[in-house]
């Protein structure tokens, strides 16, 4: 996965946007936006989880945009973000917001429809 990381997470990084675009594939493409707040523990854990899923499950067919709301607070209003971290799945339909503990990889996979129905339902 090629990564342009300007999210402020990691040594020597500025804080802006991180765009991760991974090739193309004949399978269904995904467009995801992850809203984080700097290098907070929850935001960092969410970013690690989402990048892992993109590498393992969506390689070659995902566009991931990471938005740091400290630098781009207007994005909160545009996408009606109420909590951080939040992941928005724009494509494939339906549009879906995943809010809260994004460190739970199984929960995120289910929310992205990457786990067959009835298998691996997240603990609540």
Domain ranges of the chain: 2-111
The C-alpha atoms of residue 33 and residue 20 are separated, in whole angstroms, by: 10
- Please give the C-alpha separations between residue 30 and each of 8, 43, 87, in angstroms, as whole numbers: 24, 21, 12
Q: Are 14 and 33 in contact (CB under 8 A)?
A: no
The dotted CATH code for 2-111 is 3.40.30.10
SS3 42: helix
Residue whose structure tokens are 């090629």: 2
Per the rule left: phi > 0, alpha: psi between -120 and 50, beta: everything else, 91 is: beta
- pLDDT for residue 112: 92
What is the residue-level pLDDT of the chain in tens, covering all 124 positions? 333 343 444 433 333 334 444 333 347 899 999 999 988 999 999 999 999 999 998 988 999 999 999 999 999 898 899 999 999 999 999 999 999 889 999 999 999 988 754 555 544 4
pTM passes above 0.85: no
pLDDT of amino acid 119? 54
């Amino acid at each position: 996965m090629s990564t342009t990381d300007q999210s402020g997470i990691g040594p020597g990084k500025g804080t802006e946007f991180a765009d991760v675009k991974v090739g193309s594939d004949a399978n269904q493409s995904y467009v995801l936006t992850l809203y984080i707040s700097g290098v907070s523990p929850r935001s960092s854990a969410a970013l690690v989880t989402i990048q892992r899923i993109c590498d393992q499950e969506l390689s070659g067919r995902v566009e991931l945009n990471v938005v740091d709301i400290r630098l781009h607070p207007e994005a909160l209003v545009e996408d009606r973000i109420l909590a951080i971290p939040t992941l928005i799945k724009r494509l494939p339909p339906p549009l879906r917001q995943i809010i809260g503990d994004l460190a739970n990889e199984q929960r995120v996979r289910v929310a992205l429809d990457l786990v067959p129905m009835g298998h691996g339902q997240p603990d609540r």
